[in-house]
Amino acid sequence: MTDLPQHNPVLAEAAYTGISEAGIRLEALPEGHLLHVLGATEPSALAAELAKVGLATSSIRQAGFRQWFVAGGEPIVPASLDALAAALAGKAFVTDQSHGRVRIGISGRSSRALLSKGTAVDLDPAVFAEGRSVMTMVSHISVQIVRTGEDSFELTVLRSFAETLWDDLRHMAASAVKDEA
């Protein structure tokens, strides 16, 4: 049917294809899947269930008390979502947030300097280790920050704030590069 809404990635325009400044890389990550899992299940048990439904490569990120985001670069198949919900029935609830949230990657030697301009979270590797996540504010926007490597982070933001966050990050990147010089 031609009248059905079409999915348009929010950061797909040329202006959002990625920014590389000296020491910083911003990139719009694929709008694959993002599931919100709420309930009395542990990450290891959740990982086992994800593997059973074909989502073994998805990343599990703590999003609060007994809450996790499950993120991956590929769209989720409805049958996999249904199977995961059935497997977790009675222990946790699963909601598909793929349509409502966007992921942005930040990497490079100045990535922490960039993020420190917008958030008060201590991103030192000794405190904020790889794989750790936190719900916080960047500028005035609520985001989840995940450390994905030594000098790389992923930010998850509500879709309606993605362009504003991107613009803020772009300005912070320019300022961080000047500060590092």
pLDDT band at residue 173 using 50, 70 and 90 as cut-offs? confident
* pLDDT score for 14: 47
Q: Name the pTM for this structure.
A: 0.86
Closest CA to 157 of 171, 129, 136, 174: 136
The amino acid sitting at 153 is: F
The 10s digit of each residue's pLDDT in 78-90 is: 999 999 999 999 9
Task: Kindly list the structural domains of the chain, giving each domain's residue range(s) and its CATH number in brackets, ordered by start.
Answer: 19-30+100-180 (3.30.1360.120), 33-96 (3.30.70)
pLDDT band at residue 144 using 50, 70 and 90 as cut-offs? very high
Most confident region among 5-14, 15-24, 128-137, 169-178 by mean pLDDT: 128-137
End-to-end CA distance of the chain: 54
Evaluate if residue 10 carries a pLDDT over 80: no
* pLDDT score for 174: 82
Evaluate if residue 153 carries a pLDDT over 50: yes
The amino acid sitting at 80 is: S
What is the rounded CA–CA span in Å between residue 88 and residue 131? 23
